[in-house]
Amino acid sequence: MKITVCIGSSCHIKGSRPVVEQLQALIAENDLGDRIELGGTFCMGKCQQGVCVTVDGALFSVSPESVKEFFEKQVKAKLA
């Protein structure tokens, strides 16, 4: 599974750094490092919906507050 987080200006201001850090921690906690490829990308052109995160190409709008919920529903559930 490939997760990509936008690190463009707009998403950066909306908190892509805490999103990336929480995702890195969650992946390590759940021991999913070998099943998930976490990457960054510059602007996806969907700045209004930032922080923009894609999971295998599907776009999600994530905030530092909702990362955990996003991870449970969209990542862990799908890999289980």
Partner 1 sequence: MNDLCCDIGFKSINHTGEQLCGDHVDIAEQEDGSTVIVLADGLGSGVKASILSTLTSKIISTMLAAGLSLEECVETIAATLPVCSVRGVAYSTFTILRIIQNRTAEVIQYDNPHVILLRDDANWDYPRQEMSIGGKQIYRSVIRLQENDVFIAMSDGCPHAGIGVGYNFGWKREDIISYMEAMNLCGYSAKLLSTMLVDECDRLYGEKPGDDATSCVVRMRRRVPMNMLFGPPGNRDDTDRMMSLFFAKEGKHIICGGTTSSLAAKWLNKPLRPSLNYEGDIPPIAKLEGVDLVTEGVITVNRVVQYAQDFIGDNTCYDEWSNHKDGASLISQLLFEEATDINFYVGRAINPAHQNPDLPINFSIKMNLVQELSAALQKMGKRIKVSYF
Instruction: CB nearer to partner 1: give 10 or 30.
Output: 10
3-state secondary structure at position 12: helix
Instruction: CB nearer to partner 1: give 52 or 74.
Output: 52
Sort 69 into a burial class: Cβ within 10 Å, 0-12 / 13-18 / 19+: exposed
Instruction: CB nearer to partner 1: give 16 or 74.
Output: 16
41 binds partner 1 (CB under 8 A): yes
Which residues, 6+ apart, have CB-to-CB distance to 42 below 8 Å? 6, 7, 8
List contacts with partner 1 (CB under 8 A): 5, 7-10, 12-13, 16-17, 20-21, 24, 38-43, 45, 47-48
